[in-house]
Amino acid sequence: MLERLETLRSDALKQIEGTTASEALKQIENQTVGKKGEITQILRSIGSLDPEMRPQVGQRANEVRQELETALEARLSLIEAQELAKSLEEGQIDVTLPGRAAPTGRLHPSTQFLREMYDIWADMGFQVYRSREVEDDDTNFTLLNIPPHHPARDMWDTFHTTEEGVILRTHTSPGQIRAMREYAPDPIRVILPGMCYRYEQITARSEIQFHQVEGLAVGHNIRMTDLIGTMTECARRLYGAQRKVRFRASHFPFTEPSMEVDVECSICDGEGCNVCKYTGWLEIAGAGMVHPVVLKNGGYDPREFSGFAFGMGPERMIMLRHSIEDIRYFWGNDLRFLEQF
């Protein structure tokens, strides 16, 4: 058995020394010191030898195995270095070229636009107020002068939860109540940005989720002209002084009087297209003077205080600025669209 070990050692070392490929080296390892290798089998069969031979064979087999493993490891390192050098020399890789920078993430176009709006409204004295996305029915509707069974509730297709009276907010307007109750009776000027949810048919200009930027100003002697001037200034900063702005009479239960703010459609330059419903105008906000009932529910005395409120749709405003024809692009996660911003 000892003679067989010496023969295995000598033959294996010669094969290792003459091997130039890692695959061939792996075969030598399997045949000698692998799980089914000959030296491994010798170690497993020591129990069948004469008691006098067991210590000698066991000791020598372990020595041979260790020597071969060391030789295999050294030879493998050399072969891998040679194969790498050959691959670099013969391959298509030009190691002198500069490395390619890893791609970095970008802000979503809605996030970029929201930050721009924060700056505009901050210049006009408005601070950002964060409000919850999961609301109760009273704050989302009733306290905004939309009691149960009021026909105006049909304007907001609501997502209800399994808990009665708990919904996903349909607009950022319930944040008005929370902001007023926190700051009353002090005057306030805040914007309330956030995501809203409505169970609507998805089309080129409507989605089931979208951002809104609510605005609220409450104080003494605030008038309709203040609202018109404020909205005009915002539109001018967003789209330029040359873009036309118009105000249309409208109705919202939580404002009186109410109006809608339109900007001339930049996609068709006022000629009419599917985004502006062929009117030449794109609605960017609904606004009005805060209804006395809402002021009272917020903790203000409507005989002493007045205020205005507005709600803007950032995604539609981005569409207007960049001539985007389909609002679904914002949530489609298509990098061809997102990387343009």
Average pLDDT per consecutive 10 residues, the chain (341 residues; last block may be shorter): 76 81 82 80 78 78 82 85 77 75 86 94 95 94 91 82 93 95 95 93 84 95 95 88 88 94 79 77 91 96 96 86 86 89 86
Q: Does residue 101 fall inside a structural domain?
A: no
Q: Does residue 30 fall inside a structural domain?
A: yes
Q: Does residue 98 fall inside a structural domain?
A: no
| Number of domain units in the chain | 2
Distances (CA, A) of 259 to 205, 219, 224, 288, 330: 20, 20, 10, 6, 27
218 contacts 289 by C-beta, under 8 angstroms? no
pLDDT, position 283: 83
Q: By residue range, what is the domain housing residue 294?
A: 109-338
pLDDT, position 1: 66
Burial of 125 (0-12, 13-18, 19+ CB in 10 A): exposed
pLDDT, position 290: 97
- What phi-psi label fits residue 333: left (phi over 0), alpha (psi between -120 and 50 degrees) or beta? left
Q: Does residue 99 fall inside a structural domain?
A: no
Global pTM value:
0.66
In the listed set 90, 123, 148, which residue is the last one of a domain according to the structure?
90
Residues 135 and 201 in one domain: yes
Residues 147 and 187 in one domain: yes
Residues 246 and 159 in one domain: yes
Which residues make Cβ contacts (< 8 Å) with residue 96, sequence separation at least 6?
Answer: none
Residues 147 and 69 in one domain: no
Residues 144 and 203 in one domain: yes
CATH number of domain containing 312: 3.30.930.10
Q: Does residue 102 fall inside a structural domain?
A: no
Residues 180 and 297 in one domain: yes
Residue 80 tokens read as 């891998």
